[in-house]
Structure 1
């Protein structure tokens, strides 16, 4: 299995495990002000989802409709949770359909903040995984301040737990 396929599966697993823990929080905890650009846990999670959608649109060659990396008015956590799991499933399916040639294809796009960009499909997928991991860490830090311990979502744990599934 290619690294990209493994990593998209890792992202889906880590998001599922992590969001299950977040689901235990109250609405007040999710939207409590935090010293982070996004303002709170819910908006940080929404940012991650929104950027997954932006990169999905780039991969598909379609408009994403976002004008900011920090969109206002996130959906409820329950809705966002389901949207994120569906998005992760899309990325797994998308990665599975790629071969070595298509992984290397260059995708041209425009950054939300302006400017042209170009990355291979494989690099975009790795970025999506890395970006979510980065912000999962932000939210994990916020969980500690709520006296909630985040689940372990390290890659070696995923690999150990999924060894029998061909990952």
Structure 2
């Protein structure tokens, strides 16, 4: 499997998982979503906001790639988050709409990637101001891994709140193939 097909699969997984998480979270009242449950970002809504903040930061960085990506033009209009724990959308419905818009953008982004782009170096600045030059393909891998990591936390927080999002394995989206 190529990196390109891998990232397309991860974009599809991102959309599928976020839909499951948000549909499940939407069954809970906002005070339950806002309750500090002792997680790294505290509450369900704060952790969901962090995932969106991380996606925003990385996609804004990716929009500066030497090969322009049409899907990321939109990111140039989005304000850079002030902090990793910033709650961009305190109300769940606003957050859900922003998430779904971002997920469609991520699918477009993944479909625009090329091998040459993934092999290139991306120069970027961290949230603390440090400068880095790293392989773009590895950064895209980190981007998807970051989402998965924090969605696992949200899954546990939702379970603590009394709801279960169901199966979450990437395996469920891997297409069946004919035997050799």
Specify the alignment match of 1:59 in structure 2: 62
- Please report the RMSD computed on the Cα atoms of aligned residues, expressed in angstroms: 2.0
Change in 2 beyond 3 A, CA 1:36/1:114: farther
Deviation at 1:89, TM superposition (A): 1.2
Aligned partners of 1:79 and 1:122: how far apart in 2?
Answer: 31
Aligned partners of 2:17 and 2:49: how far apart in 1?
Answer: 16
Structure 2: unaligned runs, 5 residues or longer: 65-75
Give 1:143-154 correspondences, 5 Å limit. Answer: 143-154=158-169
Structure 1 residue 131 and structure 2 residue 146: aligned?
Answer: yes
Change in 2 beyond 3 A, CA 1:20/1:141: same
Give 1:41-80 correspondences, 5 Å limit. Answer: 41-61=44-64, 64-72=79-87, 74-80=89-95
Aligned partners of 1:140 and 1:10: how far apart in 2?
Answer: 15
Deviations 1:6-44 (A, max 9, x none): 111111111112211111111111001111231211010
Aligned partners of 1:146 and 1:95: how far apart in 2?
Answer: 33
Aligned partners of 1:25 and 1:157: how far apart in 2?
Answer: 26
Deviation at 1:124, TM superposition (A): 2.4
Aligned partners of 2:87 and 2:26: how far apart in 1?
Answer: 21
Structure 1 residue 39 and structure 2 residue 54: aligned?
Answer: no
Equivalent pairs counted in the alignment come to 162
Change in 2 beyond 3 A, CA 1:119/1:11: farther
Using structure 1 for the length normalisation, give the TM-score: 0.87
Kept after mapping to 2: 8 A contact 1:106/1:121 = yes
Deviation at 1:73, TM superposition (A): 5.5
Secondary structure of the structure 2 residue equivalent to 1:102 = helix
Structure 1: unaligned runs, 5 residues or longer: none
Aligned partners of 2:127 and 2:91: how far apart in 1?
Answer: 24
Aligned partners of 1:60 and 1:101: how far apart in 2?
Answer: 16
Specify the alignment match of 1:141 in structure 2: 156
Specify the alignment match of 1:4 in structure 2: 7
Aligned partners of 2:91 and 2:79: how far apart in 1?
Answer: 21
Deviation at 1:159, TM superposition (A): 2.3
Structure 1 residue 108 and structure 2 residue 111: aligned?
Answer: no
Deviation at 1:139, TM superposition (A): 1.2
Kept after mapping to 1: 8 A contact 2:53/2:88 = no
